[in-house]
């Protein structure tokens, strides 16, 4: 999915080769929800953008295709800043090495490099690096004051794969250093003027630094008719320099050890039984937050020419994290009832671990002092129609409903007492909620000359026990329109349009310093209308120039209450592939 606004991270793939999908292969694609760090794989025909720190776009989790054709229809996730490729996925086309540089106003800058150290049939070793930064002044919507928004984000990734006769082995590691400031307008603007003198000795800094580190290894068997398996073990770390309160010396440290094992045994011509086992161990610098979750997924699968069916059960066993046993369905069905026309439905659910690493994907400004409440989805139902009957078109229509226990929604809070003062972070409250969802996705492609896309998604969250819509910065409706045109052999253009409405805010204040303060406030946020236009000029297959203008109509809107987005910004750069 295209990232719609801002501050730009230049991750070009150096090639834009793609082929129209054969209709006869349309049953062989699956959309699998990946909820952790979202890889960014960009086309060299554009400068794809890393927002100017935050963009209130409801971004669906990353997808990978395998055996199911159900579109991404899970509840919205506020993708405040794309995390970059913090993981084992390559940043660009794995067949290419590349170097990209770009700069623009607001002191936006991006630098990326990736190298295939060696690449043979049996061994692949690659390393890549990504830098993105900004240091520009933004004007608050609520008053005439300006604030400097700072960001310096650096990611280093190394991955290796060796293929044996009957299995493959992967190992990879990543490190991220993300320095930024909490630039949101204080809920009491004059708070620093009214705090007691004794509190002015606190280290009043908003310059946060978050470090994330990852190491994963695993083996996977080659496909065969008797038994297929994969086993992986990984470690993800998170450490923040600052906490929620100014007097906090440190933020929270999270250590996440994850183990996964999947087994599948085919039998007959069309059938297979499988078992998935997983364990997550979360260990924090504050012991009261530690917990362990074991996951089981027995399943049965049918794969025929015009039918795919999966029936399974998700079982979550939790230790020191609320309800011990949780159960949820794992049902998927796709049926080609007429040539190139498919009906699909899914009924899924399970426990969702809202780790510190995961919440930093949702918002880098999330509370750094305590882990968020984990969520549980007893049922997430989707029903839809998909067709590729018309030449060059692919159409998806869907509807459904999702119900979640302890779904997370954003709000801003200020705590100010004698000796206690909080930073301007984004907090999340847990609420039992449900959402009706409906949408469509239409894609068109004409050879390698034109690609167009339009999609609409409606997600409106309501209290499950009670009446009323939940106030959140997540949009109720989103429209995405995209157009890529290769005008000549050397020149390409791309246009992205993003619209979002239904966003709201809620603020809370706890203080005895200002008796007349509004202790609870809420309201509507300005709609988003964002237009981005980019161009690429290729001198040859190795060197290209890029330019992209974002928010070209200079729309003034908030990401969250009191946290403005960058207005018109433009970046230009050069890329080299080899």
Q: What is the pLDDT of residues 520-578, one digit of tens each?
A: 999 999 999 999 999 999 999 899 999 999 999 999 999 999 999 999 999 999 999 88
Positive or negative CA dihedral for 268, 69, 446, 40? Answer: negative
Tens digits of residue pLDDT in 234-262 = 999 999 999 999 887 789 999 999 999 99
| pLDDT the model gives residue 95 | 58
Q: Please give the DSSP secondary-structure letter assigned to residue 269.
A: T
Token pair 């090495």 is found at 97
Indicate the pTM of the whole model. Answer: 0.83
Give mean pLDDT, residues 126-153: 93
Do residues 364 and 358 make contact, with C-beta atoms less than 8 angstroms apart? Answer: no
Tens digits of residue pLDDT in 86-120 = 443 444 455 578 999 999 999 999 898 999 888 88
Q: Look at the chain and count its residues.
A: 578
Q: How far apart are CA 553 and CA 549, in angstroms?
A: 10
Token representation of residue 374 = 């984990």
Q: How far apart are CA 460 and CA 499, in angstroms?
A: 16
Q: How far apart are CA 75 and CA 58, in angstroms?
A: 9
Q: Please give the DSSP secondary-structure letter assigned to residue 552.
A: T
Residues 6+ apart with CB under 8 A from 177: 152, 153, 154, 209, 210, 211
Checking if the pLDDT of 195 tops 90, the result is no
Q: How far apart are CA 317 and CA 338, in angstroms?
A: 42
Tens digits of residue pLDDT in 324-375 = 999 999 999 999 999 999 999 999 999 999 999 999 989 999 999 999 999 9
Q: How far apart are CA 327 and CA 379, in angstroms?
A: 10
Residues 6+ apart with CB under 8 A from 524: 503, 504, 505
Phi, psi torsion values for 210, nearest 5 degrees: -110, 130
56 — pLDDT class (breaks 50, 70, 90):
very low
Do residues 402 and 376 make contact, with C-beta atoms less than 8 angstroms apart? Answer: no
């Amino acid at each position: 999915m295209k990232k719609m606004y801002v501050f730009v991270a230049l991750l070009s793939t150096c090639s834009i080769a793609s082929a129209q999908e054969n209709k006869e292969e349309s049953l062989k694609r699956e959309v699998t929800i990946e909820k952790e760090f979202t890889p960014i794989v960009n086309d060299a025909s554009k400068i794809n953008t890393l927002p100017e720190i935050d963009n209130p776009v409801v971004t669906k989790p990353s997808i990978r295709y395998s055996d199911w054709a159900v579109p991404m229809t899970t509840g919205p996730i506020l993708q405040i800043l794309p995390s970059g490729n913090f993981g084992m996925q390559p940043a660009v086309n794995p067949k290419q090495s590349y170097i990209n540089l770009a700069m623009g106003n607001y002191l936006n800058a991006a630098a990326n490099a990736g190298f295939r150290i060696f690449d043979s049939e049996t061994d692949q070793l690659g390393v890549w690096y990504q830098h993105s930064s900004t240091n520009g002044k933004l004007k608050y919507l609520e008053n005439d004051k300006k604030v400097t928004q700072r960001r310096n984000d650096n990611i280093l990734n190394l991955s290796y794969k060796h293929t044996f006769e009957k299995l493959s082995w992967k190992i990879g590691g990543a490190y991220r250093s993300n320095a930024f400031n909490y630039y949101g307008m204080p809920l009491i603007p004059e708070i620093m003027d009214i705090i007691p003198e004794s509190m002015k000795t606190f280290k009043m800094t908003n310059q946060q630094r978050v470090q994330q580190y990852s190491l994963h290894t695993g083996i996977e068997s080659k496909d065969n008719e008797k038994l297929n398996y994969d086993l992986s073990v990984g470690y993800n770390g998170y450490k923040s320099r600052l906490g929620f309160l100014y007097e906090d010396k440190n933020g929270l440290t999270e250590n996440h050890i994850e183990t996964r094992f999947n087994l599948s045994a085919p039998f007959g011509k069309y059938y297979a039984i499988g078992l998935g086992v997983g364990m997550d161990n979360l260990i924090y610098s504050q012991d009261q937050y530690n917990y362990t979750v074991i996951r089981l997924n027995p399943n049965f699968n049918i794969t025929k020419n015009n039918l795919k069916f999966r029936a399974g059960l998700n079982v979550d066993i939790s230790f020191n994290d609320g309800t011990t046993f949780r159960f949820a369905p794992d049902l998927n069905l796709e049926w080609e009832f007429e040539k190139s026309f498919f009906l699909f439905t899914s009924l899924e659910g399970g426990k969702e671990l809202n780790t510190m690493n995961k919440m930093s994907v949702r918002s880098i400004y999330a509370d750094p002092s305590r882990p968020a409440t984990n969520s549980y989805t007893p049922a997430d139902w989707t029903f839809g129609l998909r067709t590729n009957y018309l030449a060059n078109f692919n159409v998806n229509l869907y509807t459904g409903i999702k119900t979640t226990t302890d779904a997370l929604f954003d709000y801003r809070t200020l705590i100010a007492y004698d000796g206690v003062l909080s930073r301007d972070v984004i907090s999340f409250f847990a609420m039992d909620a449900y959402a009706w969802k409906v949408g469509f996705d239409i894609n068109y492609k004409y050879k390698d000359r034109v690609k167009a896309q339009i999609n609409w998604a409606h997600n409106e969250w309501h209290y499950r026990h009670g009446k009323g819509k939940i106030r959140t910065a997540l949009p109720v409706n989103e429209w995405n329109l995209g157009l890529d045109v290769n005008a000549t052999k050397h020149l390409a253009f791309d246009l992205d349009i993003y619209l979002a409405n239904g966003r709201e805010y809620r603020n809370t204040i706890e203080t005895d310093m200002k008796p007349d303060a509004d202790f609870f406030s809420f309201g509507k946020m300005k709609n988003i209308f964002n237009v981005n236009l980019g161009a690429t000029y290729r001198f040859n297959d190795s060197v290209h120039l890029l330019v992209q203008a974002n928010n070209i109509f200079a729309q003034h809107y908030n990401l969250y209450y009191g946290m403005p987005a960058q207005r018109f910004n433009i970046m230009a750069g050069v890329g080299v592939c080899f």
